[in-house]
Amino acid sequence: MALPKPNQDMFDPVHRKITHIVDSHQLLPYQAALQDAVWQKKLRDVQDIAQQLQEKDDSDFGKTDLIPASDVEKFLKAASHIFLLDGLWKQDTKLQLTWVNNENENIKGLTAMEGSTHMLRLHTTHNKSGLEVLCVLLHEMVHMFLTVCEQEELSQGHQVDVRLFGYSRHGYYWQRLARSIETRATYVLGLKIDLGRRDACLEELVAGEMTARMAYFEELWDPNPGASGVSEARMVFEWVGPRKFEAIKRKDAERNGESVET
Ligand SMILES: [Zn+2]
């Protein structure tokens, strides 16, 4: 089965919310936003944390108190305003941050929601620079927002298409919103923001044992030929293909208890 895209003929409130945000990134000119006092304040909050993280020494990474939870909360509240039309943080939203230092756990960040509390786990050893932590925070923020959207729909008795959220939670919704935030954050912060979309796509293909069509990549990456004459969409398509087969073969072997060559 191929990675699914939303059905354009059907009303999909989550897709509509994402489209609204993506449009705001394109339509709200940066100069106009800068005239807004609240926007300015929130941008400063985001920039403060970005700077704080970038000023860390190499020896700080690996420590379980890299930045306090109150600063991460301040960052997420401000980033919700700058990147998500205030869609993430409500009056009763809380954050519980845990730093993990487990070499065997190959994750940079993980998020889950319990009631109105976002449970965020950040890995110390796998995040090796301030920029990397910043990118992981934004990556996890997209997950948090989509979980909030999903819960809103479910609490109103609506159905959601779980496949669009994804088997690894990196389905179409995550990719589309992450793409837009990646571009907007790179522009607004003046830093090369990378939300790990290529790896996330691979993870999703493996988790769901899915195939992907070129059209999926063309919608979620740049479909136009770059300087090399090859489009970003094709490069990602050709990058994930062979890796997916390898990963699925490994998964099958592990499942059957066979030894795995790496
Ligand atoms: Zn993720």
Predicted confidence (pLDDT) per residue in 177-214, tens digit: 999 999 999 999 999 999 999 999 999 999 998 888 99
According to the model, what pLDDT value does residue 256 have? Answer: 85
Report, as an integer, the average pLDDT of 1-16. 88
Question: Is residue 152 within 8 Å of residue 127, measured between CB atoms?
Answer: no
Banded model confidence at residue 58, pLDDT cuts 50, 70, 90 = confident
Banded model confidence at residue 60, pLDDT cuts 50, 70, 90 = confident
Spacing, Cα 122 to ligand 1 middle (Å): 12
Spacing, Cα 5 to ligand 1 middle (Å): 18
According to the model, what pLDDT value does residue 34 have? Answer: 77
Please give the model's pTM, rounded to 2 decimal places.
Answer: 0.93
Banded model confidence at residue 80, pLDDT cuts 50, 70, 90 = very high
For the chain, helix (H) and strand (E) counts, in that order, are 10, 3
- List CB contacts of 157: < 8 A, sequence separation 6 or more: none
According to the model, what pLDDT value does residue 172 have? Answer: 97
Indicate the range of 61-75, 76-90, 178-192, 233-247 predicted with least confidence.
Answer: 61-75
Higher pLDDT among residues 124 and 181, named by residue:
181
Spacing, Cα 195 to ligand 1 middle (Å): 9
Q: Please check the confidence at residue 260 and state whether its pLDDT lies above 60.
A: no
Q: In what order do the strands lie in the sheet with 109-114?
A: 94-100, 117-123, 109-114
**In which region does residue 186 sit, left (phi positive, over 0), alpha (psi from -120 to 50) or beta (all else)?**
alpha
Spacing, Cα 70 to ligand 1 middle (Å): 22
Residue in the block written with tokens 């939870």: 69
State percent of the chain over pLDDT 70. Answer: 97
Spacing, Cα 140 to ligand 1 middle (Å): 6
Q: Which two tokens stand for residue 163?
A: 């496949």
Residue in the block written with tokens 């090369």: 192
Instruction: Return the closest-CA partner of residue 164 out of 216, 112, 114.
Output: 216
Among 17-26, 63-72, 151-160, 173-182, name the most confident range: 173-182
Tens-digit pLDDT profile for residues 89-111? 999 999 999 988 777 767 788 99
Spacing, Cα 31 to ligand 1 middle (Å): 31
